[in-house]
A and B are shown apart, each in its own frame.
Chain A
């Protein structure tokens, strides 16, 4: 910064310091406080506005009469600034005073007209003849809008279709256009009727048939109470106040927007068409945006076309909604339009010791494109223009946003299609060095632009309290660097920014042609392979370069646990993401230095999964995997346990004697395929299915029967398990039931939930098929035999990734967001107290609405994970399904009867 700049800055700071140093004496504060409190204390009381003289300057303003007495002076322009502010501020929030002020101003305009008339009689005669009709219209308009009305005249009827009436002490008085409704009067519309009301603040309220509405005045603004029926409110700007709409169950607060509120026997619903609405249902406050709906109790979301169908302006409202939806869709298209990159020069320029590499599309392109589209839409659509004006321009951010976008655009024009970031020196001991790389399309222009903008950027960073220095380097080989600095250098065709001068010089040497050892490394090879198949967002971590250092201190049991996981052999993690118009595609590959072993080795290589054929196409959650031979898994676990506990072998022998079989005997009966699904109504009991591959049915059934008998014997009167055999038409079904005694302590509640629960299973076609009821087991077998199952489901097929694999090693399909999101939301708005965890689940489910598919491929030396869809967490919502019946029982004993509708 120049010397002059520092001086100018000090002038501002000195001036601010001068202001800070000004302080009134305690006596002055005390006297002022006493006067003001006298005024404030009295302001909430007196409503007698008559015969009050105009308060003198310095005299506190106590009542509306005081303010109204000053209005002529305000209109005449003779009031002091301080007084004028007080009067204007009060008038914005007080309807009677606002009307009085309007009237005072109208009177002043009339005086001005009279003055003109005296000065120009001839002109006026022509105007009087030619504008008689106009004058009459003007008078009518003045009478309509400016004539002072009392607080009792709260809303005026603009139009009526059918019958609109007031109910007062049993009397029914019809209302006609032009009639006024007082605060506190309840108005109703008859069957096949409708009306439009205009509030004194300019807001317009459209009322549906068979509705009951009551208007009230509050100090903060008007309140509309909807007793029943539906209204649409076009709220005018509220100044410092706000307009409220309430039902028995919620309170909606707005500043200026369009929204609908309906209330009936099943609950209340708010639908936002334009702007922003705050809704308070007594438990929490939510903000709704255009297209959002919120319902209480059983008022489920309803299509806007249906919700607004009764309105005379339905087409207009739907057009507004469509405009916002189109904007959102276009923005998605811009982001999705970024093409994958199949090669890059930047990867070959990364520092030799790069341990983390991240590459993204040039962000300035999409940012400026989004802003251009937004401005185009705003220019073309008055509704959007109004929204922009209120949200951005009126807040004073308009010029700043324009300037910022212009700078981004200018900078982005000189950069190529990709920006890459490399991290080196990740040992956990030192601060990593960061290198940023971008190809340059116009080096001279970029350098000139940076000279100007870096100083400005530096100022912004400093203002934000960050001391990082931005230094534009001319020659990296002569540049120095100390402290927290980011060195920026523009070569002929590449921009390099580095936190270390050594890394900057290293990259400069590679640009000049020196051989980069990174190019021959396996990490580089993995990243290059990702580029060859197309990369949009790419991130890679060479875990092998620093993980051993991080785990160096781990010994003994921790070390053995890490070895059991197999993660000590990990080499790289590569994550790729593509953003499509509708779906996001994310793939992560974890590679190892040799064949997978330990737990990460338990995942089998991709193969067909017959267990999926027992699951219906409508399943809301499916999880399935293929494991290596279960005997291998048991052997590894037993070996780990034996290493941990020298007495393990003795304990194991005791257990084997107790149960009558060895673990190896049990697992020998199983294949390596398992599928679990939520496949049917979630209530009153979750409809789960478990399908397990079985190699030896007779052995497994024998082991199970022995185990149940021994558990029952050991439990005695305390409970246990029972196994019943049910002969079916074609096969035998087994019913396993838990009998848990009334325990005490921590497990008592869980025991009560388990007591009496049954699981029915049978064997079919090499699989054990289990479900809560025999009917569900039979249904599962019907799907398998019928040949139409989850595997053919259109949603599942659409989400399968397009790659070289025919099968997968594991998968999780989740559309619980669709099924449960609305249900949970209704729970949240009910009287049930939900836990914080449940609320977080609701929020996550709402964000992840839409099916998601996560698949894993186990290869010899790597595991590849691919996710398609909006959902990030594969198992989100599954645990909550099993708690639903208890929660629903708390709020609605008859919940089970409606269970089918949630599927």
Chain B
């Protein structure tokens, strides 16, 4: 997860000389958090291309805030949440456009109940990604933060500005819904 290492990126060498310098604060934030965002997005979307788009989306949104890069926007939680939401947006967009973006998924990706026995861990991952798009955006976000990104209920409640009870209730219902959707393939992956 966050502790994963990567080699240092030379950001200055990657920046075109013909455009103005971005704010220092943005550069510092990118240095500090790009790996966190990319890896979280990779876990959600399942491929590097999409994760890169998520990374770009997150920091472009941040860049447009101009002077609003300060307090409250710099925490790891903020970037985790931003990556999760952008990643989930991408999954949902795929489902709406019916372009079957999950490269390794056979058949209707939004119908995990049709997964056949015998499929393995890859199918399990893709089935969960597809099932997440059936949840409400808020429920999908809370579930992902809790079970994929490993935040506690209390931290999630603080991040989204809700009570712990609300988070617990939403999680309970989300897990119940996902259980129902994934149960047809449980024999295939056990």
Contact = CB atoms under 8 A, between A and B. Distances in A.
Interface centre among B8, B14, B27, B137 (most CB of A within 10 A): B14
A24 B7 contact: no
A26 B148 contact: no
B19 A45 contact: yes
B190 to A, nearest CB: 8
Interface string A407-446: 0000000000000000000000000000000000000000
B134 interface: no
Contacts of A41: 11, 14-16, 19, 21-22, 27
Contacts of A460: 168-169, 172
Contacts of A34: 9-11, 13-14
Interface string A36-49: 11111111111000
Nearest to A8: B179
B89 A85 contact: yes
Contacts of A61: 56
A463 B94 CA distance: 30
Contacts of A27: 6-7
Contacts of A698: none
Contacts of A38: 14-16
Contacts of A219: 63-66
A397 B138 CA distance: 9
Contacts, number: 225
A43 B62 CA distance: 11
B83 interface: no
Contacts of A463: 153, 168-169, 171-172, 175
A396 interface: yes
B90 to A, nearest CB: 6
Contacts of B4: 23, 26
Contacts of A46: 19
Contact of B9 (A33, A90, A218, A397): A33
A18 interface: yes
Contacts of B139: 396
B64 A93 contact: yes
A33 B15 contact: no
Contacts of B20: 44-45
Interface residues of A, number: 66
**B contact patch SS:** helix
B39 interface: yes
Contacts of B34: 29, 33, 36-37
Nearest to A61: B56
Nearest to B131: A15
A85 B90 contact: yes
A7 B93 CA distance: 31
A16 interface: yes
B122 to A, nearest CB: 8
A463 to B, nearest CB: 4
Contacts of B111: none
Interface in B66-84: 66, 68
Interface string A447-481: 00000000000011101110000000000000000
B29 to A, nearest CB: 10
B165 A18 contact: no
Contacts of B127: 15
A32 B90 contact: no
Given A15-B182, A81-B94, A396-B137, A26 B7 contact: yes
Interface centre among A19, A28, A44, A45 (most CB of B within 10 A): A19
B168 A40 contact: no
A763 to B, nearest CB: 61
A241 to B, nearest CB: 8
A395 B52 CA distance: 27
Of A15, A82, A93, the most chain B CB neighbours within 10 A belong to: A15
Interface string B29-48: 01000110011001110101
Contacts of A12: 128, 147, 175, 178-179, 182
Contacts of A13: 147
Contact of B66 (A24, A94, A220): A220
Given A40-B30, A460-B172, A7 B52 contact: no
A264 interface: no
B6 A29 contact: yes
B168 A81 contact: no
Given A82-B50, A220-B66, A42 B19 contact: yes
A396 B38 contact: no
B38 A32 contact: yes
A11 B186 contact: yes
A9 interface: yes
Contacts of A565: none
Interface residues of B, number: 90
A13 B19 CA distance: 47
A112 B159 CA distance: 46
A400 B128 CA distance: 22
A15 B128 contact: yes
Contacts of B129: 19
A400 to B, nearest CB: 7
- The residue among B18, B51, B128, B139 with the most chain A CB atoms within 10 A of its own CB is B128
A22 B43 CA distance: 6
Contact of B39 (A24, A44, A94, A218): A24
Contacts of A577: none
Interface in B132-190: 136-139, 147-148, 150, 152-153, 164-166, 168-173, 175-176, 178-180, 182-183, 185-186, 189-190
Given A15-B124, A40-B56, A20 B48 contact: no
A26 B6 contact: yes
Given A11-B183, A19-B43, A33 B172 contact: no
Given A40-B22, A40-B63, A400 B6 contact: no
B173 to A, nearest CB: 7
Contact of B68 (A14, A58, A220, A459): A220
A89 B53 CA distance: 12
B55 A33 contact: yes
A469 to B, nearest CB: 16
A23 B39 contact: yes
A23 B50 CA distance: 14
A12 to B, nearest CB: 5
A36 B1 contact: no
- Give the interface centre of A43, A81, A83, A459 by most chain B CB atoms within 10 Å: A81
A143 interface: no
A630 interface: no
Given A11-B179, A219-B64, A464-B168, A84 B93 contact: yes
Nearest to B23: A44
Contacts of B43: 19-20, 22-23
A14 B169 CA distance: 21
Given A85-B90, A219-B66, A20 B169 contact: no
A11 B38 contact: no
A35 interface: yes
Nearest to A79: B97
Contacts of B153: 463-465
A39 B60 contact: yes
B176 to A, nearest CB: 8
B6 to A, nearest CB: 4
A218 B63 CA distance: 12
Nearest to B164: A464
B121 A18 contact: yes
Given A24-B42, A35-B14, A40 B182 contact: no
Contact of B169 (A86, A94, A400): A400
23 contacts: A12-B178, A12-B179, A16-B148, A18-B124, A19-B44, A19-B125, A20-B1, A20-B150, A33-B9, A34-B14, A37-B11, A37-B30, A40-B56, A41-B15, A42-B19, A44-B23, A61-B56, A80-B99, A84-B97, A93-B61, A397-B166, A464-B153, A464-B164
Nearest 4 interchain pairs by C-beta:
A464-B168, A396-B136, A45-B19, A26-B6
Given A19-B148, A20-B148, A464-B164, 10 more contacts: A15-B182, A23-B42, A34-B11, A37-B30, A40-B26, A40-B30, A44-B22, A461-B168, A463-B153, A464-B168
